[in-house]
Amino acid sequence: MARSFRSLSFVATNTPEALASREELIRTYGYTPPEEADVLVVLGGDGFMLQNLHDTMNSGRLIYGMNRGSVGFLMNDYRVDDLPERIAIATENDFHPLKMTAYGEDGSETIALAINEVSLLRQSYQAAKLRVLIDGHERLDELICDGLMVATPVGSTAYNLSAHGPILPLDAPLLALTPVCPFRPRRWRGALLPDRVKVSVEILEERKRPVNAVADNIEVKSVLKVEIEQAKDITARILSDPDHSWSERILAEQFAN
């Protein structure tokens, strides 16, 4: 069934290629301010797409990306012709971000959302020493590593994959708990978790082994504890071409050379 919409708005990252593409699309389809449009057409790479997804969560607006960056895993191919028709039949993907609550050694409490992953990373030459709890139950009393992340299916092909974490189908009700360079337990390679759980990570020897927490592009330095859970009340909406769907891209990634 074709999707009906009234207006498109075009936003571009600050590169000559993306800005030129935006001008071309405005000449072809006209200009609507982003806050008034039904569909926001994002021109750039994956980082710019994530920024716009964060800005539009729970707004009801749909995001359709076209690649004017490098990797463009989250983006559709760039073409000017028949854009309204492509958007009308595009596949809608709705998903919930992760909510990170980070407690700092200065007594602060920071809440941030992550579409890809929440990461804890060592701050110095000393490896991090972490205690991991799932829904309040201790699962690892001591994990020594460079870092640890909780990744969504959307983010499972990003940093998570680089750290040898599993690729998750987009519609899987799972989260990937993936260590970065684990030293002890040396053979622990992570876990798959139901997306309804709360992951709590406590930093051990926090003065000797300081740790930073990162939710996508929001970083909190010198944390004592981080809680991570899916924000079921917040939704981001993204469109993909039927012949280039996210589900297909994630499946194809598992068979890539």
User: Which CATH number is associated with domain 8-95+235-253?
Assistant: 3.40.50.10330
Q: Token pair 């729970």 is at which residue?
A: 58
Model confidence pLDDT, tens digit, residues 141-177: 999 999 999 999 989 988 999 999 999 988 889 999 9
Q: Would the pTM count as exceeding 0.95?
A: no
Q: Give the residue-averaged pLDDT of 238-244.
A: 86
* 201 annotated as belonging to a binding site for a ligand: no
* 78 annotated as belonging to a binding site for a ligand: no
**Residue 31 one-letter amino acid:** Y
Q: Give the residue-averaged pLDDT of 114-142.
A: 97
> Which tokens is 150 given?
């909780």
Q: How far apart are CA 29 and CA 213, in angstroms?
A: 42
18 and 45 Cβ atoms separated by less than 8 Å: no
113 and 215 Cβ atoms separated by less than 8 Å: yes
Give me the pLDDT at residue 257, please.
65
Share of the chain above pLDDT 90, in %: 79
* 158 annotated as belonging to a binding site for a ligand: yes
Model confidence at 220: pLDDT above 70? yes
Give me the pLDDT at residue 245, please.
67
The pairing of strands 39-44 and 8-12 is parallel
DSSP H helices, 31-146, are 46-56, 83-89
How would you write 117-146 as a 3-class SS string?
A: EEEEEECCCCCEEEEEEECCEEEEEEEEEC
Least confident range of 116-120, 156-160, 211-215: 156-160
* 77 annotated as belonging to a binding site for a ligand: no
* 162 annotated as belonging to a binding site for a ligand: yes
Give me the pLDDT at residue 213, please.
98
* 154 annotated as belonging to a binding site for a ligand: yes
Q: How far apart are CA 109 and CA 94, in angstroms?
A: 28
Q: Token pair 């592009």 is at which residue?
A: 217
216 and 54 Cβ atoms separated by less than 8 Å: yes
At 49 the three-state DSSP class reads helix
User: Which CATH number is associated with domain 98-230?
Assistant: 2.60.200.30
* 21 annotated as belonging to a binding site for a ligand: no
Q: Where are the domains of the chain?
A: 8-95+235-253, 98-230
Model confidence pLDDT, tens digit, residues 23-49: 999 999 999 999 999 999 999 998 999
Residue 46 bears catalytic tag: yes
* 88 annotated as belonging to a binding site for a ligand: no
How many Cβ atoms sit within 10 Å of the Cβ of residue 30? Answer: 11
Q: Which among 136, 145, 210 has a CA at the least distance from the CA of 184?
A: 145
Task: From the candidates 46, 94, 135, 171, give the one annotated as an active-site residue.
Answer: 46
Model confidence pLDDT, tens digit, residues 46-101: 899 999 999 999 988 899 999 998 877 889 999 999 999 999 999 998 889 999 99
